[in-house]
Amino acid sequence: MHASLTEHARCLYGDEYRPTAGCGLEHHEHYFVEELTFADADAILAMLRELSPHLVDGHLPVWVRNLAYRLVLLQRPDEPALMREAADSLYLHGPDWDHIAADLRHRADALEAKA
């Protein structure tokens, strides 16, 4: 078993910035998705920030990034900075999700206006 979600993702998808150590485990994407699904927000954010520190880079598939941000926002629904970070990621990966990104930005603005 991997020591962290980040380590599991690195073994499965690689890392643009660090070598991927051979861990000797058999890798199946569905095991990673299960771990991601039940990970806490801190573990998910650590994975995103370590493997894609500049948002536009890294080897994580787009669908993994989208799912990861969705899971983080479900756990932390009232954090405008995270909403904007998720929106930025969506904007970078094509127009299919631009309406969702725009909604996230609108919700972030509304939350800040209440404060």
Query: Is the separation of the CB atoms in 27 and 12 below 8 Å?
Result: yes
Pick the range with the lowest mean pLDDT from 8-12, 60-64, 92-96.
92-96
* pTM metric for this prediction: 0.92
- Give the rounded percent of residues in the chain with a pLDDT score beyond 70: 99
- 38: DSSP letter: T
| CA-closest candidate to residue 61, choices 17, 109, 9, 98 | 9
At residue 27 the predicted structure's pLDDT band, cuts being 50, 70 and 90, is confident
**Structure token pair of residue 115:** 């404060």
Domain limits for position 103: 5-114
CA distance 24 to 60: 21
User: What integer pLDDT is reported at residue 17 of this predicted model?
Assistant: 85
User: What integer pLDDT is reported at residue 20 of this predicted model?
Assistant: 77
Please check the confidence at residue 47 and state whether its pLDDT lies above 80. Answer: yes
- Only one residue has tokens 């990970």, namely 39
At residue 80 the predicted structure's pLDDT band, cuts being 50, 70 and 90, is very high
User: What integer pLDDT is reported at residue 57 of this predicted model?
Assistant: 87
CA distance 23 to 1: 9
Q: How many domains does the chain have?
A: 1
| CA-closest candidate to residue 84, choices 70, 64, 105, 102 | 105
